[in-house]
Amino acid sequence: MSVFSSECPLCSGTGWRSLEAQHGVVPCECRSRTRPERALAAAQIPPRYRNCAFTNFDLRPERGERNESLWNALNVVQAYLREYPLVDGKGLLLMGGTGVGKTHLIVALLKGLIQKGAEGLFVDYQELLKRIQSSYDPAALTAEHRVVRPVLETEVAVIDDLGSNRITDWVEDTINYLLNRRYNEKKPTLITANLKDERMTGAAGERVTHATFEERLGARVSSRLREMCRLVEIVAPDYRLRCR
């Protein structure tokens, strides 16, 4: 099935317009009109999250009262969208318990960035590790490049539920490699993580999470995350439990 408009009178859905005089073809103008739709499909957002938007994000999960933590997270994410691409490769890391809306917000942001012309890719952390492991060659000590390459090359990468696996040397090396490459190439990475909300005082009094990163991902990845992402903590009740 063509990804271009079947109603286009110039190309009839092929995406190419004929040049009769030169006996050739050129890209049809309808390509620019359908590019966001094609980019959104290429982002591989799971069906469960495809309807996530800022407009349907629940800010009042407790007795109808606005949750200030959710409101702050929404403001940060929307500000990021407004500022993009002037973010100099800086990403976001949304942290909090299960069902607080981290993935909802990050998907809404990804969709907004695609509408602005960016290309993006959504990957589930556990699924990504499984795919890399399945392609791993012990003899060459490398993973199949075709599995890793899309995450490295996409303009904006979303990594959902980072740190959900127990840390091993292989996991730390793999994630450190991916994040380092994206950091060095100034490609923004948007991350969600189900980490504890314990707090400590960071640089200049900034509130950051307790050293759970080291427990889940190792010291190298933890350090890199703090450099490459703005950390945003969400404290709210589990939306899924409330729905049940």
pTM of the full predicted structure?
A: 0.79
| Pairwise CA distance, residues 49 & 104, whole Å | 7
| Pairwise CA distance, residues 5 & 240, whole Å | 38
3 state SS of 152 = helix
Comparing CA positions, the residue from 128, 125, 192, 122 lying closest to residue 155 is 122
Q: Dig out the tokens for 51 from the structure.
A: 């309807």
Comparing CA positions, the residue from 71, 194, 66 lying closest to residue 79 is 71
Q: Does residue 238 surpass a pLDDT of 80?
A: yes
Torsion angle of alpha carbons 28, 34, 38, 43, nearest 10°? Answer: 140
pLDDT at 32 (0 to 100): 63
C-alpha distances (whole Å) from 160 to each of 3, 63, 194 are: 27, 29, 9
Could you tell me if 23 and 11 are in contact, meaning their C-beta atoms sit under 8 angstroms apart?
no
pLDDT (tens digit, 9 = 90+) per residue, 42-89?
899 999 999 999 999 988 766 678 889 999 999 999 999 999 999 999
What residue segments make up the domains of the chain, in order of their start? 1-42, 46-243
Comparing CA positions, the residue from 23, 26, 24, 33 lying closest to residue 3 is 33
pLDDT (tens digit, 9 = 90+) per residue, 110-132?
999 999 999 999 999 999 988 88
3 state SS of 233 = strand
Q: What's the farthest any 2 CA atoms get from each other in the chain?
A: 70
Could you tell me which residue, 44 or 6, shows the higher pLDDT?
44
Strand ordering across the sheet containing 189-193: 120-124, 156-160, 189-193, 91-96, 229-234
Q: Dig out the tokens for 36 from the structure.
A: 């966001």
pLDDT at 216 (0 to 100): 77
Comparing CA positions, the residue from 179, 230, 233 lying closest to residue 70 is 233
Helix and strand tally (H, E) in the chain?
9, 11
pLDDT at 141 (0 to 100): 52
Query: Topology of domain 46-243, per CATH?
Result: Rossmann fold (3.40.50)
CA 197 to centroid of chain Cα atoms: 21
| Pairwise CA distance, residues 120 & 125, whole Å | 15
- Strongest mean pLDDT among 127-131, 132-136, 239-243: 127-131
